[in-house]
Amino acid sequence: MIVHDVFLPAPLLVVSSGIMVMLGATAWRRSVGRSFLCAMGILLLAIMVVGHHAGTVPDHGDSLFVQDRWTAYTAILTMFSTICIMLMSWRDDGIMRADEYALLLMLGTLGALAMVFSANYMPFFVGLEILGVSIMGLVTFGHRAVPGHEAAMKYLILSGVSSAILLFGIGLAYGVTGSLRFMPPIAAGGVSAALPPAATIMILVGMFFKLSAVPFHMWLPDVMEGAPVPVAAFVAVVSKIAIFSPLVRYFGTENQPPFLNDILCGVIILTIMGGNLMALRQADFIRLMAYSSIAHMGYLLIAFMCPGRLQSGAITVYLAAYTASTLGVFAVMDAFATPGGPDGRVIAQWKGVFSSHPFVGAVMSFMLLSLAGIPPGIGFFAKFGIAAVGVAHQRDLLLCFLIIGSIIGLYYYLNIVRTMMVTPSLPSRPLNRHVRPELMALVIVLGMIVVIGGLFPARAIHPLLPAATVPSETRDGITH
């Protein structure tokens, strides 16, 4: 596979320049509509220039960024997700109507793109902190001031701890390799036998904090619960893509040493079982989706443990399925929330939706079935791909927990569908009947992606595979 080291990828240049334009326009005259339209235009332009190279590799030192098919795919997925979240955020009730909100979303996307394209610890860590700062600001937006401030404070503390661990690991990695090039320090030789494993473990622990893998997951449910619905979607989707992309590139393409293999297997099992079992107890829809996100990261980590040609297809399809299905759930929840009334956060509020809003019930059911891995959603083929990779690499124990976790997940996903079919005993305030056209279009598009990807998987998935190949081999930080 050909990898291009570039001075600055074109999408990063477009997004960073666009943020400066938005800042200048806001300083001149505030306009929420102009900020949102400008932000979406910048992201569409950045998607169009993915694959173009901006600048050349410096004559000395390592390149800061790398661009190939894998980074292009995850960058497109990141920017598409942000566009969807911006469409969710344009509300008539004034919750998100602020120029700073669009700027923070763009800033978080810039940080995510820096992480996706990074070939060096410096831009990776800077992008990670930019993303974290923007999430802290976004969580406090909206009328839920007290929960938002509490969630932001929890994220600040735990994010600081995880960043400190990650930075300490990066320092050890630099001492081991003598370079800030993003590569597994475990491959280095000629140094103390304890340093490479210590550096590798600390870097992975820092990444697992950001990925919310168990037992480093404590922050995610509280942060998502305290955040507005679109921001919860941003945390559940964009931040996960941003951290998983470099994680797979630089740690998922090597045959891991035995001690690290055992640690990773333990984290995967805890993540799958912890996410699914905790989701069973939730009456809050947002918290349930948070624990669902944790479980899905566990499924993805199974493919992370299985390097090879099958890995690229499985991860590519699963990321697309998870992104479309999760965004679809949050889009439906946001579209049919009643201003000043039910916001869809409590599962009990969805009683009788099938009788009062058949379209809402049908779309939400398709999204949940896709997350559960049931046809006709694209999630079925995504989970099948993960299982196929596990079988090929004889990960029998992990496959057993994949099956157990999927069965548990089937219960709480279908429980929401059952709730929507139940007729409420007492009349309740209905969900919103007047949906904004752009948000209705978003719900339909995401629903079509999920359903068409499940009914016609070959046609829907095949175009993604050649454009999203995960590097098959990494030696000394050079991908072949």
Hey, how many other C-beta atoms are within 10 angstroms of the C-beta on 35?
A: 23
Please give the angle made by the CA atoms of 325, 329 and 333, to the nearest 5 degrees: 165
Averaged over 20-33, what is the pLDDT?
82
pLDDT at 463: 54
Domains in the chain, number: 1
- Which two structure tokens, joined as six digits, stand for 93? 């009730």
Identify the helix (H) or strand (E) that includes residue 34. helix 32-48
CA-CA distance, 379 to 369, in Å (whole number)?
A: 8
Q: Does the CA dihedral 145-147-151-153 come out positive or negative? A: positive
Between 2-11, 234-243, 395-404, the lowest mean confidence (pLDDT) is in: 2-11
pLDDT, averaged across the chain: 81
- Choose among 441, 479, 406, 226: nearest CA to 332: 441
Between 172-186, 386-400, 439-453, the lowest mean confidence (pLDDT) is in: 172-186
- Which two structure tokens, joined as six digits, stand for 448? 């079509």
- Which two structure tokens, joined as six digits, stand for 247? 């994680």
Confidence category of residue 214, pLDDT binned at 50, 70, 90? confident
Tell me, what amino acid is at 16?
S
Between 65-74, 90-99, 233-242, 375-384, the lowest mean confidence (pLDDT) is in: 90-99
Averaged over 455-463, what is the pLDDT?
63
Identify the helix (H) or strand (E) that includes residue 255. none
pLDDT at 473: 45
Q: Which residues neighbour 468 within 8 Å (Cβ) at sequence distance 6 or greater?
A: 69, 70, 72, 73, 74, 312, 316
Buried b or exposed e, range 36-75, using 16+ CB within 10 angstroms:
bebbbebbebbbeebbebbeeeeeeeebbbbbbbbbbbbb
Confidence category of residue 467, pLDDT binned at 50, 70, 90? very low
| Owning domain of residue 453 | 262-471
Q: Concatenate the DSSP letters of all residues of 61-94 into one string.
A: S--SEEESHHHHHHHHHHHHHHHHHHHHH--TTS
CA-CA distance, 183 to 254, in Å (whole number)?
A: 10
Q: Tokens 């919310």: give the residue.
A: 212
pLDDT at 97: 60
Q: pLDDT of 161-205, one tens digit each?
A: 889 999 998 888 888 877 788 776 665 555 557 788 888 888 888
Q: Rounded to 5 degrees, what are φ and ψ at 50?
A: -60, 135
Tell me, what amino acid is at 292?
S
Residue 120 is given by DSSP the state B
pLDDT at 75: 93
pLDDT at 4: 59
User: Could you tell me if 367 and 321 are in contact, meaning their C-beta atoms sit under 8 angstroms apart?
Assistant: no
Does 212 map to a domain? no
pLDDT at 476: 39
Q: Does the CA dihedral 100-222-229-85 come out positive or negative? A: positive
Averaged over 269-294, what is the pLDDT?
92
- Which two structure tokens, joined as six digits, stand for 24? 């200048």
Q: How far apart are the first and last CA of the chain?
A: 5
Between 66-80, 243-257, 261-275, the lowest mean confidence (pLDDT) is in: 243-257
Confidence category of residue 147, pLDDT binned at 50, 70, 90? low
pLDDT at 441: 85
| pTM to 2 decimal places | 0.89
Q: Rounded to 5 degrees, what are φ and ψ at 474?
A: -130, 125
- Choose among 182, 323, 320: nearest CA to 249: 182
CA-CA distance, 269 to 256, in Å (whole number)?
A: 17
Cis peptide bond N-terminal to 215, omega within 30: yes
Q: pLDDT of 283-341, one tens digit each?
A: 889 999 999 999 999 999 998 888 777 777 888 889 999 999 999 999 988 877 655 55
Identify the helix (H) or strand (E) that includes residue 54. strand 53-54
pLDDT > 90: percent of the chain: 30
Query: Is the confidence at residue 406, as pLDDT, over 90?
Result: yes
Does 371 map to a domain? yes
pLDDT at 458: 62
Averaged over 399-413, what is the pLDDT?
93
Cis peptide bond N-terminal to 376, omega within 30: yes
pLDDT at 150: 78
CA-CA distance, 167 to 449, in Å (whole number)?
A: 39
Query: Is the confidence at residue 254, as pLDDT, over 90?
Result: no
Query: Is the confidence at residue 404, as pLDDT, over 90?
Result: yes
Query: Is the confidence at residue 281, as pLDDT, over 90?
Result: no
Q: pLDDT of 61-88, one tens digit each?
A: 567 888 888 888 999 999 999 999 998 8
User: Could you tell me if 67 and 13 are in contact, meaning their C-beta atoms sit under 8 angstroms apart?
Assistant: no
- Which two structure tokens, joined as six digits, stand for 152? 């932001």
Query: Is the confidence at residue 474, as pLDDT, over 70?
Result: no
Q: Which residues neighbour 142 within 8 Å (Cβ) at sequence distance 6 or greater?
A: 95, 96, 148, 227, 228, 231
Confidence category of residue 239, pLDDT binned at 50, 70, 90? very high
Q: Which residues neighbour 277 within 8 Å (Cβ) at sequence distance 6 or greater?
A: 408
User: Could you tell me if 27 and 65 are in contact, meaning their C-beta atoms sit under 8 angstroms apart?
Assistant: no
Residue 173 is given by DSSP the state H
